Amino acid sequence: MSDAQDAEVLFETRGNIGLITLNRPKALNSLTAGMATLIKAQLADWATKPSVHAVVVVGAGEKAFCAGGDVVKVCKSYQAGTEEWREFFHEEYLMNVAIDEFPKPYISFVDGITMGGGVGVSIPGDFWVASEKTLFAMPETGLGLFPDVGGGWFLPRLPGETGMFLALTGARLKAADLYALGIASHVVASDKVDRAIEALAAAEIKDNDDAAEVLAKFHADPEPAPLSPHFDDIDEHFDGASVETIMESLKADEGEWAQKQFKILSSKSPTSMKVTYEQLKRGQGMETFRENMKMEYRIVCNTMKGNDFFEGVRAILLDKDNAPVWQPASLADVSEAAVEAHFESLGDKEIEL
């Protein structure tokens, strides 16, 4: 195998499209700072190249589109006193902005596991194509983090309170739910993805309408969304004036679904939940994705000063005891000042957008 094929991310032009392949299948295509830098640079090149009508992104291997960023590496960098962690988030977030502002159709075939950073490589684009293999989640509150890579922008713009529900619980969704919520623009069977890409490569694509016309030929409506019977429950319980209000509402509902959500939230980082709640409320009122990413960079850099991210990574990914010891341990002990501190300016460390 050549060095080019060994690269973490592959780029090629195929017919009228630029094709990005996330190429770390053994690591479930998890994102690195280097990959983010290369994608951003390639998009800048393709943006002005008339022969490239659209960009398509896929993940290598059978399991994952992109299972997220390498947060273990991020934690070790911060603990070692290096700046590698900051570079990772900086480059990742600049890539997210580049995808959002890319002037041509950007189409993600999300054929497999897609979490955290994988959502950031795909959802700021124009088309998010799920398959029967898609498994989506923003699980950050269970890691002592928050749903970054644009979560503050796209989650509060989902129907009703489903964005707050996904952000706080880290719920895992498949194609039917993703299509019902409008996260997935299309659903294409995994064994038809290659043919869909070939069709895009052969098409004259002047705008999103042209891309949508091609994708529609391969789309098949999924079965009814398993989450749909609970949309009213979500709107009722997750429309609270605070995380505490949401928890109280769920606890008071003796139904099986509400009790399950209460138990799930009880396991999450109290600090992360309160920061996430505030992130979505602020993001909802912002006018641009770029403005949201500036906020999220502040949050992530300030989060690194605390305890819970490192504890979450230890408990879930390193020791795998699934028994994180959050500090503070209760919502009541997370002060408004502590939440506000996550949104403070970074001075000369602000992200350069």
117 is catalytic: yes
Residue 314 three-state SS: helix
In angstroms, what CA-CA distances link 30 with 97, 120, 156, 296? 19, 11, 25, 20
- Is the omega angle on the peptide bond into residue 222 within 30 degrees of 0, that is, cis? no
Instruction: Say whether 68 is catalytic.
Output: no
Structure tokens at 218: 């391969």
Does the bond joining 226 to the residue before it have cis omega, within 30 degrees of 0?
no
Could you say which of 126, 140, 161, 296 is catalytic?
A: 140
Q: Does 69 participate in catalysis according to the annotation?
A: yes
Can you say whether the dihedral through the CA atoms of 217, 163, 320, 341 is positive or negative?
positive
CA distance linking residue 166 with residue 6, whole number of Å? 35
Distance (Å, rounded) from C-alpha 189 to C-alpha 178? 14
Q: How many CB atoms lie within 10 A of CB 273?
A: 25
Active site residue 285: no
**Amino acid occupying residue 171:** A
Q: Which of 91, 100, 148, 311 is catalytic?
A: 148
What is the C-alpha separation between 263 and 143, in angstroms, rounded? 16
Q: Could you say which of 68, 69, 152, 163 is catalytic?
A: 69
β-bridge partners, 186:
129
Quickly count: other Cβ atoms within 10 Å of residue 256's Cβ: 8
Active-site position among 68, 112, 117, 118 = 117
Catalytic positions, please?
69, 117, 140, 148
